[in-house]
Amino acid sequence: MKNKFITVGCDTYGYLNSIWSGETYSTGCLTRCYGNLDGIENGTCSGIGCCQVDIPHMMKNISIDVSEFPNSTKEYSGCSYSFIVKDGFYNFSLADLYNFPSEEVPLILDWSVGWENCTVSKACMNNSNCHDEDIDFGGYRCECKEGYTGNPYHPDGCKDIDECKTNNHTCISEEHCRNTDGHHECFCPDGQSGNGTKTGGCSKRDLITKVAI
């Protein structure tokens, strides 16, 4: 949902193919100018010279095809292009019909492990949680538990974060922070009481002296 499929040209059609369970599904867009470039505006990708479509949810095993219509009205010295790009990144220019820029463009990739789900997860290691990605197609992802960091797929698993050393604690100071496995504890200086946190703080203890009469 964070990408666009874009086709650029004047007698061009581009489409995405998705193969799932032996079946092929396609979507795409076309753009035809019929030799007339007057109606093409810079910065727009609404169907003339440039067209764009959303990529349907759950397309998998995607391939891209781009081609020209038969008997193309090729009155301009340009080529045909289709590509996937991060939404909002590509800004169409009329000059792209003649000399398409060769620079790389970004796209957003989302992924999951295999076709299984968390009930049979084997990839998530120590101190990590498993999250199912899609109910219909399967796949899962691993992430470190709160208070841990590292690679949840590595055999060593996720490592404890020392919140006291990384200044990621809630205590009044590092000196009054005690790291624990996955968490941390706060305490007050000697002679004071409270929870030792930045919000709760500490206060001096009342000294009560009993005098025998």
Q: Give DSSP secondary structure letters for the chain.
A: --EEEEEESSEEEEEEEEEETTEEEEEEEEEE-TT--TT--TT--SSSSEEEEEPPTT--SEEEEEEE-TT----SS---EEEEEETTT----GGGGTS-------------BSS--GGG--S--TTEEEEE--TTT--EEEEEPTTEES-TTSTT-PEEP-TTTTT---BS-GGGEEEETTEEEE-PPTTEEE--BTTT-EEEPPP------
pLDDT at 135: 65
User: Could you read off the pLDDT of 148-174 as tens digits, one per residue?
Assistant: 999 999 999 999 999 999 888 999 999
pLDDT band at 56 (very low <50, low <70, confident <90, very high): confident
Q: How far apart are CA 159 and CA 108, in angstroms?
A: 28
pLDDT at 79: 81
Range scoring the smallest mean pLDDT among 14-23, 29-38, 180-189: 29-38
Checking if the pLDDT of 103 tops 60, the result is yes
pLDDT band at 88 (very low <50, low <70, confident <90, very high): very high
- Assigned CATH for 111-160: 2.10.25
pLDDT at 77: 57
Give CA angle at 112 (107, 114), nearest 5°. 130
pLDDT band at 120 (very low <50, low <70, confident <90, very high): confident
In which residue ranges of the chain is CATH 2.10.25 found? 111-160
Contact present, 159 and 169 (Cβ < 8 Å): no
